[in-house]
């Protein structure tokens, strides 16, 4: 006897299922627990990971700007000046060094940073009396 009906009940999702899922598992290689081995868990984690990666590209810019601002503030505080005064003094004297390089100067070239702080302090002093 040949049973033909049972065969019709098998549901094939397609011949490329293994490769389709492999694309997801490759991205989930270092995930925790079942999220790297079970497809239905992995696909959710991978989608979230991709979303985080996209969003964090914007956040990285603001994170770094915040870090640079902190470092400039710390460097300026060593010379007795506040961040906004320091930046204001530089801009009003047409010194357009960006925050990244100012932070690098504060860390690696303290003498140059001191001279910049002096420019700002003199400017502040001059305008205080006005």
Partner 1 sequence: MNHSQFLVSGFLRAPIYNGIGRQINQLQRVTLKFCKSHGSSQGMRNFIENNLVDFAKQNDSVVLYVKPRRHRSPVIVAEYLNGDRKWMSCHNRPSEEILKWLSLLSLQAGDTEPIRYRKHWHTDVPSIQGPWNPFTHKNPGHIIAEYPHEGLGRVFKAPQSATEKLLKIAKKRNESENKKE
| Residues at the site binding partner 1, with contacts judged by CB under 8 A | 26-30, 46, 49-50, 52-53, 75, 78-79, 106-112, 114
Nearer to partner 1, 8 or 40 (CB): 40
Nearer to partner 1, 75 or 89 (CB): 75
Q: How far is CA 33 from CA 18, 23, 41, 108, in A?
A: 20, 18, 10, 44
Nearer to partner 1, 61 or 91 (CB): 61
CB 111 → partner 1: shortest distance, Å? 5
CB 76 → partner 1: shortest distance, Å? 11
DSSP 9: T
Contact by Cβ (8 Å): 106, 113: yes
**Tokens (6 digits) for 48:** 């979230």
Distance CA 2, CA 12 (A): 21
């Amino acid at each position: 006897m040949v049973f033909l009906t049972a065969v019709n009940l098998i549901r094939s999702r397609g011949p490329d299922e293994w490769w389709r899922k492999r694309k997801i598992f490759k991205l989930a290689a270092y995930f925790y627990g079942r999220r790297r081995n079970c497809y239905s868990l992995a696909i959710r984690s991978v989608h979230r990971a991709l979303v985080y990666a996209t969003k964090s590209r914007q956040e990285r810019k603001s994170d770094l700007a915040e870090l640079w601002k902190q470092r400039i503030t710390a460097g300026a505080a060593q010379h007795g000046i506040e961040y906004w005064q320091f930046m204001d003094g530089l801009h009003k004297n047409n010194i357009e060094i960006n925050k990244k390089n100012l932070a690098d100067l504060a860390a690696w070239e303290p003498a140059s940073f001191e001279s910049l702080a002096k420019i700002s302090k003199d400017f502040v002093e001059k305008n205080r009396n006005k």
